[in-house]
Structure 1
């Protein structure tokens, strides 16, 4: 067994398979329906203008292909690690490493985006200060071993769905609705629509959480392929309703310039009393996502450090709290720095680049499956791989340059380590 698959000290060799389809769908919804929709609508509208909904549809198609490829791979390799495992097993050690590296850097940027979402909705004038404070506080929470429970995840999903439903109903029934805002105008360029799709992909990326729980799902070869499309479909419906309602009352220009788009939608609909509720809902969603992301990135860092893909000292586990404390402190410090110096659009773009690279490797891995291994229809990994690459390289140029540079640095570090070995 590879070190990446070894359990932590005191953890049984095999996790208990106790999750069925409803449980897996709930976990997927908890990972997707969160702060992403509160954060990604504005930068996507700025890029696509009136073509926002086309961008959402493209993002959903690519997400579906990625989800299908991931589901088939997870059914074949029902172990924790996701594409870090699939790439290694199907394409070779380098591609598994690169997937893990892309995940770590992409999700670290996601942490910064979530922290900035908290700041944008809670205290717009001091968004960066609030973001850094949130990162420090939640890093401490993770450090002492307090993790988000399954019950808390369900509560957060319920709160977020209630807030989104309130925004949708209030917007669609208000006098501010203007159906002309849905017309596709000359501002909807092809590049802008693809940029929006890449940015909106940020809000869909949580479905991989189902696949990474392969060791805890009953009959994973049947459960995972069923649960992922269901969770993705529900999420798409919710996001489409939110995007349509925000466009109808704000229009693409106002939506694109909004710092807190759903708050602005509530104001435009004449529901000022709903504004504090939206702010609380966004903060709850973002804090829940941030807590889970810091936890997930630090654990992936731990696994890669155990494999010596990252400095081995990061694999240290605190003797009292039983957490990878060095990895958590490093992740927290990097995220705090990013939250203090970047803007939400930059963080979302960089995160999307890393996550799209991660799923490109997942689709390439799925392409290598034989029919007897549950290979999806050939068009699925082809569209998924092509879509990931196209969306990644049509993101805003600073995100592309920075993301590509970080991947090159990771590849160079891998090559240097191999030469030393």
Structure 2
């Protein structure tokens, strides 16, 4: 890793403030977000009655990724996540490619989450609300990561309460029929894998714990504990919610629902819950947006430190101890995207980029020695294979756009090296 530079005479380091509970909450805020309110329908369209198999596939790959990421984060407790791991274990190019995949894909995801907030809060002014949400949450992040963790905790509590209400309403309804969980002929192998790739998008937030590695107290203990706890809680929540939606709607009706959970409570006879679910979806999207901006800004900080991005973005605020320039730039880019674009189509591209990011994480974990806390060999092997399979099972347009962006990033790196502007060691 390159040495920390200084900005205005202040050491360019972040402050370790987060313990296990805060780290788990940030992971939950990243995963239990807008995805659970929106991802079930496209996954049902892909897999039909095999939706739960797709969820299991996504969870299995996420477990491998989480295990590899946790071991690496404990070894390298610095901001940047797989950007740092790939650089240290595989070489500068692979670290750069991981960082590129993460920053570009997650910036698009930030805009998608902001637009989700706008669509639920004020559909007629979705873009304006989206921009306002980005500005507000950028200000929260700027004021310090502890305040971000506190807000994330409140958001997670609200979203879990709403999801619990949906599950109770659905499972106690006369419309519920357990026979709708049966796997039929509409569940093809390819469809299950595509559903797994789409649902993986909603699981990917556990990396936010790793990207905050420089702000976690006792990272060798905290990170390996926080990541699997957050992932396990999320899997249980997703599985219960998916079952509740399926037993009420069935795979066919679920596949064509614009707002799956709102439709589920309506069919279950809980019309009074519909506006509550809408509010819950907006709050969940805010939680996802908050955590996404945190992660993207920290990876931007790490890449700027190594001069893969403008070095001016490596500054850390002397009072708030956050990468304030990186946060402001990320917030500005996301606000522009949210104001002028409809990025819902970028979700598949984002999934492709995130899966590429984790493939590099698993390859990095393979190189760890037993003394360095290497996971069982099967974990990184299955992780790399699972990431590749789910990535190329995504819709063709997502695969093509994602591959094109990765190639463009690799080309930019090669050109920069050829011109002699080599990154710092």
TM-score (norm 1): 0.90
Note the alpha carbon deviations across 1:301-328, whole angstroms, 9 max, x for none.
Answer: 3543453323557668999995344443
Structure 1: unaligned runs, 5 residues or longer: none
2:267 — aligned with what? 268
What is the SS of the residue equivalent to 1:149? helix
SS of the equivalent of 2:325 reads: coil
Q: Is 2:41 the partner of 1:42?
A: yes
Q: Provide the residue aligned with 1:294 in structure 2.
A: 293
| Match of residue 135, structure 1, among 114, 126, 130 | 130
Equivalent in the alignment of 2:188: 189
Contact 2:201/2:351 (CA < 8 Å) preserved in 1?
A: yes
1:6–1:202 Cα change, 3 Å: farther
Cα distance in 1, alignment partners of residues 386 and 361 from structure 2: 12
Normalized against structure 2, the TM-score is what? 0.89
Cα distance in 1 for partners of 2:277, 2:157 equals: 14
**1:2 paired residue number:** 2
Corresponding residue number in structure 2 for 1:332: 335
Pairing 1:403–2:402 present: yes
Q: CA deviation at 1:378?
A: 0.2
Change (3 A) 1:218 1:317: closer
Q: Does the CA contact (< 8 Å) of 2:170 and 2:248 recur in 1? A: yes
Q: Distance in 1 between matches of 2:138 and 2:122?
A: 26
Could you say if the C-alpha distance between residues 326 and 121 of structure 1 is closer, same or farther in structure 2, counting changes exceeding 3 Å? Answer: closer
1:332 positional shift: 2.8
Shift of 1:25: 2.2
Check whether the contact 2:82–2:98 (CA below 8 A) recurs between aligned residues: yes
> SS of the counterpart of 2:361?
helix
For 1:63, the equivalent position in structure 2 comes to 62
Task: Give yes or no for contact 1:316–1:326 (8 Å, CA) kept in 2.
Answer: no
Gap change, CA 1:302 and 1:335, over 3 Å in 2:
farther
Aligned to 1:341, what secondary structure does the other structure show?
coil
Figure out how many residues of one structure are paired with residues of the other and give that number. Answer: 412
Q: Deviations over 1:125-153 (max 9, x none)?
A: x4xx51x2233213433565456622211
Cα RMSD for the two superposed structures = 2.5
Give, in angstroms, the shift of residue 123 of structure 1. Answer: 5.0
Q: Which blocks of at least 5 consecutive residues in structure 2 are unaligned?
A: 421-425
Residue pair 2:312, 2:325 contacting (<8 A) in 1 also? no
State the distance in 2 between where 1:216 and 1:298 align.
13
Query: Structure 1 residue 323 and structure 2 residue 318: aligned?
Result: no
Q: Is the 8 A contact 1:121 1:282 kept in 2?
A: yes
Judged with a 3 Å threshold, the aligned counterparts in structure 2 of structure 1 residues 142 and 282 are, in CA distance, closer, same or farther, namely: closer
Please give the alpha-carbon distance, in whole angstroms, between the structure 2 residues aligned to 1:274 and 1:357: 39
Helix, strand or coil: the match of 2:74? Answer: helix
C-alpha deviation, 1:217, in angstroms: 3.0
- Cα distance change on mapping 1:320 and 1:327 into 2, 3 Å: farther
Change (3 A) 1:287 1:270: same
Counterpart in 2 of 1:278? 277
- Offset at 1:203? 0.9
Partner of 1:354: 353
Once the two structures are TM-superposed, the CA of residue 23 in structure 1 deviates from its matched residue by: 3.2
TM-aligned CA distance change 1:156 to 1:178, over 3 Å? same
CA distance in 2, matches of 1:394, 1:202: 13
2:112/2:338 contact within 8 Å kept: no
Match of 1:341 in 2: 342
C-alpha spacing 1:328/1:153, structure 2 compared with 1 (3 Å)? closer
1:381, 1:323 → 2: CA distance?
35
In structure 2, C-alpha distance between the alignment counterparts of 1:74 and 1:333, rounded to whole Å: 32
Q: Which residue of 2 aligns with 1:82?
A: 81
Report the Cα distance in structure 2 between the residues aligned to 1:216 and 1:101, rounded to whole angstroms: 22
